[in-house]
Amino acid sequence: MPASRNRGTSAKQEVLRRLFEAFQPRQPPAFTNDDVKRIAQQIGFANPFDVTKIDSKEILPEIMHNQGYCIAHLGKGQHQFLQELQHWFHDFEPIKENERIEWRYRKSLLNDLDRGEASVISLVLNQHILHDFVYEDVVATPKIYIPGRTRADLTYWVGQTFLKTQGLQMEMDLVLEYQGVVTVFEAKSKQKFPRDFAVYQLFHPAKYYHDRLREARLSAKVNACYILKSGTGKRSPRVRVRFYLYEFEDFDRLDSIRLVRKAEYQLQPR
């Protein structure tokens, strides 16, 4: 029988809490996918591969919040507890009234049939909302690179902690190249907009391309864009899409993230 949990604590948070109590006191405070599976089985959590996917601070158990810890991925099934919570996550900047844009569009057949990242990317590309925000030109023609997964060895700082990864797997929702600028994209579809996000989601792919371009002695700027879609279905008929364009001032520091601009598009079907 799975062990009982405190009321209000999710199964995923309980797995994270037990991992933290077991491995944080160790030096280094690292653990593996096998450790995750073992503890997940103890409480009957069916998806151990989801445990270390933490997109927002609100997913973390209270004990990690209180002590300021997050989880870093090291690659090859290795993870580490870091006392860098304030640097690992970034709060989404509030959208001002003058940054809200009404966008008329003709609804297509497949817009709301899927709520995944690919559906968000398809919507903003097909309706040229992305072109308007990123390039400020609805007829811009960036080169599109099909999303996929890759592995890389990355080294960087976050706060006072130096990280060295090996064979780190990263997912890219979309990569565009236009006029000497490479932009990596992260997209999410949510019922309500999250308050924050894990910076590594943008930093890892951005640093990957920055490092590869430098190794190839190619001159190009690399930035990153987070896209959030909210409002689908009968209860939330109005679709809103938020864009946040970021730069990294130092590609050796995850915490060097800087906002370039932001906007919310309120989609008005014709």
CA distances from 79 to 154, 199, 203, 254, 255 (A): 14, 16, 17, 17, 19
- For 191, other C-beta atoms within 10 Å of its C-beta total 11
63 and 118 housed in the same domain: no
Which pLDDT belongs to residue 110? 77
Among candidates 227, 203, 259, which has minimal Cα distance to 119?
227
Within a domain: 242: yes
> Is there a single domain that holds both residue 184 and residue 229?
yes
Claim to verify: residue 73 and residue 144 sit in the same structural domain: no
For the entire predicted model, the pTM comes to 0.92
Residue where one domain finishes, among candidates 83, 108, 134: 83
Q: Which residue has the tokens 């593996």?
A: 32
Helix (H, G, I), strand (E, B) or coil at 181: strand
- The CB-side HSE value for 238 (13 A sphere, CA atoms) comes to 8
Torsion of CA 44, 48, 50, 53, to 10 degrees: 120
Please report the pLDDT score of residue 116 as a whole number. 81
pLDDT value at residue 64 = 98
In the chain (270 residues long), the average pLDDT of successive 10-residue segments reads 48 97 93 97 93 96 97 97 98 98 87 79 95 98 90 97 96 96 96 96 98 95 97 68 98 98 93
As a whole number of angstroms, the distance between CA 51 and CA 232 comes to 27
Question: Could you tell me if 108 and 38 lie in one domain?
Answer: no
Q: Is residue 6 part of a domain?
A: no
Q: In the listed set 34, 64, 83, which residue is the last one of a domain according to the structure?
A: 83
Residue 98 included in any domain = yes
Position 3 scores a pLDDT of 42
Q: Do 261 and 145 share a structural domain?
A: yes
Domain that holds residue 63: 11-83
- Our count of domains for the chain comes to 2
Nearest to 30 by CA among 155, 158, 163, 156: 163
Instruction: Note the pLDDT of residue 257.
Output: 98
Q: What is the pLDDT of residue 109?
A: 77
Single out the residue in 83, 103, 122 at which a domain terminates.
83
